[in-house]
Amino acid sequence: MLNFYFLESGIGWTVLGAMTALVLGGIGSALGIATAAGQGAGVLSEKPNLFGKVFLLILLPGTQGLYGMVFAFLVTSFTGIQSSLVAAQQMPVGIGVALGIVGFCLGLVLLLSAKYKGKT
């Protein structure tokens, strides 16, 4: 099974990259929201009338998780993994590895940018 998904076709690499982007984006969003919420609680204890503005700033790091989900959905739908396994079986290994690398790099960027967006 591993031989088919990773050596004979690019399905395994594509799914691995999509999952990595989704998971790292979600982790980054959670870390960013936690940081922003901690700072926001301090601001709201002093000025409760700023709730709307502070709430928006707390939610901003959560967009990184959404970007990871959109990437995972687009990659799996455009490669044919969601609709037809027959179409995805014909995916070359090189394309699968490339999509896996892109998913990993995107996940790393989403993780770090959400973390620093929460600090900002």
Q: For the chain, how far is it from start to end, CA to CA, in angstroms? A: 45
Q: Which residues, 6 or more positions from 58, have their beta carbon under 8 angstroms from its beta carbon? A: 33, 36, 37, 40
pLDDT at residue 87, as a whole number: 60
Query: Which stretches of the chain are DSSP H helices?
Result: 2, 11-46, 51-59, 63-78, 85-89, 93-119
This prediction has a pTM of 0.86
Closest CA to 81 of 72, 93, 69, 94: 72
Computed over every residue of the chain, the mean pLDDT equals 89
* The pLDDT value given to residue 67: 95
What does the pLDDT look like over 47-77, one tens digit per residue? 999 999 999 999 999 999 999 999 999 998 8
pLDDT band per the 50, 70, 90 thresholds, residue 120: confident
